[in-house]
Amino acid sequence: MDSQVELQYLARKEAMDKTELHHLMTAYGDDVRRYAYAITKNREQAKDITQETFLKAYRSFGSFKGRSSLKTWLFSIARNAAINEMKSSYMRRIVLFEWVKPRGVGESAETAYLEEQSVREIREALMSLSMKLREVLLVSLEHGLTMPEIAELLNVSEGTVKSRLHRARQAMERKRKEMER
């Protein structure tokens, strides 16, 4: 965490060199990859998105003005890349730029109940939430983003963030109760 704080000095720079990029990747690489994975639920995509995130961060570093934390800025790049990638995959699947009603997708994730409070099952429960709820829960709890940071990242109001967090917690609780039946 210290190295992450130290890297905030980059906010005053117009560009970064390769050493600084390496430091940035060391400080935030795991976080960005985990965040990308939480959004995409796909390891390979998460890996590609993380690499793309740092590549974009390096190439467009001048756009980082230090108004948000480096982590929030990187998450924001990763989020756009992830959404684009998911859309791209989706497009490829249903034929690019053709509006075709897709077939239903499997519901297996949503039938994963918490049988015991193990990491694996919490993880399954969490990953079965909608992206909207899953994402807000993870950036808040795992990544420790503040309400204003989450609001900026998701481009929604703080009230919406609070509401989503509340619903996400309720959904997790509901799954726990379903498990107890």
Partner 1 sequence: MSNSSSAWEKQVKEGLFQEERFTDDMKLTVLGAIERRPRRMAGLWPKLAETAAACLAALLLVVYWPSGSVDTARPQGAAAGAEKTLTFQPLEARILTKGQTIHGSDPDILPGLSNKYSPLRNTGYVEQIPLTDIELIDKKEIPGFGTTLRYTLVNNEDLPKSDKNGIIVYFGFVIEGLSEPDQLFHYGFGYLDGDDFSATRLFGQEALKIDRQLCRIDGEACVFYVKKDKGGVSTFAEFDAATYERDLDGDGREEAIVATHKQNQIYIFKEDQGDLQWASVRDALGAGAEDAVAYDELLGTFELHGREANGSGFTRTYRYGEDNRLVEVVK
Q: Which residues bind partner 1 (CB under 8 A)?
A: 18, 21-22, 25-26, 29-30, 32-34, 37-38, 43, 46-48, 50-52, 54-56, 58-59, 80, 83-88, 90-102, 104-105, 114, 117, 119, 122-123, 125-126, 130-132, 137-138, 141-142, 169, 172-173, 176
* Three-state DSSP class for residue 155: coil
Q: Which is nearer to partner 1, 38 or 161 (CB)?
A: 38
Reading the block at residue 166, the tokens are 């509340």
CB of 58 to partner 1, least distance (A): 6
**Residue that is written with structure tokens 């039946």 in the block:** 181
Instruction: Find out whether 50 and 32 touch, Cβ atoms under 8 Å.
Output: yes
CA angle 166, 171, 174 (to 5 degrees): 125
Q: Which is nearer to partner 1, 11 or 42 (CB)?
A: 42
Per the document, the length of the chain is 181
Cα 165 to its chain centre, rounded Å, is 15
CB of 18 to partner 1, least distance (A): 6
CA angle 20, 22, 25 (to 5 degrees): 110
CB of 163 to partner 1, least distance (A): 14
Q: Which is nearer to partner 1, 69 or 135 (CB)?
A: 135
Q: Which is nearer to partner 1, 11 or 83 (CB)?
A: 83
CB of 126 to partner 1, least distance (A): 7
Instruction: Find out whether 80 and 52 touch, Cβ atoms under 8 Å.
Output: no
CB of 181 to partner 1, least distance (A): 14
Q: Which is nearer to partner 1, 8 or 60 (CB)?
A: 60
In a 10 Å sphere around its CB, with 0-12 CB exposed, 13-18 middle and 19+ buried, how is residue 146 labelled? middle
Among 58, 175, 25, residue whose Cα is nearest residue 115: 175
